[in-house]
Amino acid sequence: MKSKINYKRVATIDIGSNAIRMLVSNVYNINGKKISTKNNIVRIPLRLGKESFSDSTLSESSLEKLIKSFKAFKLLMEVNGVDLHLAYATSAIRNIKDSQEIIKRIFEETGIKLDVISGKKEAQITSKQDISDHIGKSKNYCFVDVGGGSTEVIIFKNSKIFKLKSFKIGCVRLLDDSVNNQTWSKFEYWLTENTKELKKLKIVGIGGNINKIFKISGTKYSKPLGKKSFLKTLKKIESMSISERLTVLKLNPDRADVIVPAGKIYYFILKTLKVKDIYVPKIGLADGMVNELVK
């Protein structure tokens, strides 16, 4: 007789500035220890940051698309037999004046409760994931999560959170030329001041864009992406037209125009901190939310 496997199926929804995602995961309880595995992920290229960062609002058209996406997520959760779900919104929704009205309307029409989280909480959720397979026993490391509207940085000293901050520097903002020199200077100063005493600092890159750059570079999954290879790959992508990025690199349309601005943010950090490479463990906010949900 086969033993019954004790598990729950959970869904985590991440409302970003460049896209929205739902990750469905299986969470197993094995000998009192919870282990999660990815089941499937749905990504919808809805660029909410385009309107949010320029007008601090959403058009009715964008709002309707957002609500329809949530309705689709609800149906997918039903057919996937999801037991628990969690939905978080980040920079784009944070920037909207009437965000509470939007959240209320989503709940009324779909029954899904959406919470807007701070950049600080976003960084904390992402950074709690285990990356020891990538960086080994290093005690000084820095998580960098570049999104459409913001960049979250969390610095660990002796394996404990030392400093963390969210900056209004993101790939969609760069694409719209809405990041001024003063913001870059503050970013640079904060990075150098809070890492100057840390030896053998390692950088961990989070997000879809750094994952794509890593893949295009041809670096082996178990290895870090070197700064020289990073710059070479970034220049290669930048030299290609949008159509070439779509057909040759097989990028999604909403990724093809923001991947270079995102890459420039990561490279700025590598150059500022004088670090020779970046580790890319392929984790994100939705993955971290699974850990938070099963608690």
pTM metric for this prediction: 0.82
The answer to whether the 7-117 and 129-283 domains have the same CATH topology is yes
Kindly report, residue by residue over 24-60, the tens digit of the pLDDT: 999 988 877 788 888 899 999 999 988 888 888 899 9
* Mean pLDDT, residues 264-289 taken together: 92
Q: Output the CATH code of domain 129-283.
A: 3.30.420.150
Comparing C-alpha atoms, which of 184, 261, 256, 269 is closest to residue 225? 269
Contact indicator for 287, 145 with CB cutoff of 8 Å: no
Q: With bands split at pLDDT 50, 70 and 90, how would you rate the model's confidence at 4? A: low
Residue 282's SS3 state is: coil
Q: Please give the average per-residue pLDDT across 235-263, as a whole number.
A: 96
At 108 the pLDDT is 96
Which has the minimum average pLDDT: 53-57, 171-175, 188-192, 257-261? 53-57
Domain locations in the chain? 7-117, 129-283
pLDDT tens track for 86-116: 999 998 999 899 899 999 999 999 999 999 9
What stretches of 45-111 adopt beta strand conformation (E)? Answer: 84-89
The band of 282, judged by pLDDT with boundaries at 50, 70 and 90, is confident
Per DSSP, which regions of the chain are E strands? Answer: 7-15, 20-30, 33-44, 84-89, 114-116, 141-146, 151-157, 160-167, 202-206, 225-226, 277-279
- pLDDT, tens digit, for every residue of 205-221? 988 899 999 999 999 88
Is the confidence at residue 173, as pLDDT, over 80? yes
Chain-wide mean pLDDT for the chain?
A: 91
pLDDT greater at residue 1 or residue 189 = 189
Q: What is the 3-state secondary structure (H, E, C) of 134-199?
A: HHCCCCCEEEEEECCCCEEEEEEECCEEEEEEEECCCHHHHHCCCCCHHHHHHHHHHHHHHHCCCC
> Model confidence at 291, in pLDDT bands (50, 70, 90)?
confident
β-bridge partners, 14 = 21, 88
Residue with tokens 């949010």: 52
The matching CATH number, chosen from 3.30.420.40, 3.40.50.300, 1.10.3720.10, 3.40.47.10, for 7-117 is 3.30.420.40
pLDDT reported for residue 207 = 86
Q: Give residue 228's identity as a one-letter amino acid code.
A: K
Mean pLDDT to the nearest integer, 13-29? 92
Place 1 in a pLDDT band, splitting at 50, 70 and 90.
Answer: very low
Q: Rounded distance, CA 126 to CA 108, Å? A: 29
Average pLDDT over residues 65-81: 96
Of 137-151, 186-200, 281-295, where does the model show the most confidence? 186-200
Residue 262 pLDDT grade (very low, low, confident, very high; cuts 50, 70, 90): very high
- The answer to whether residue 248 scores a pLDDT higher than 50 is yes
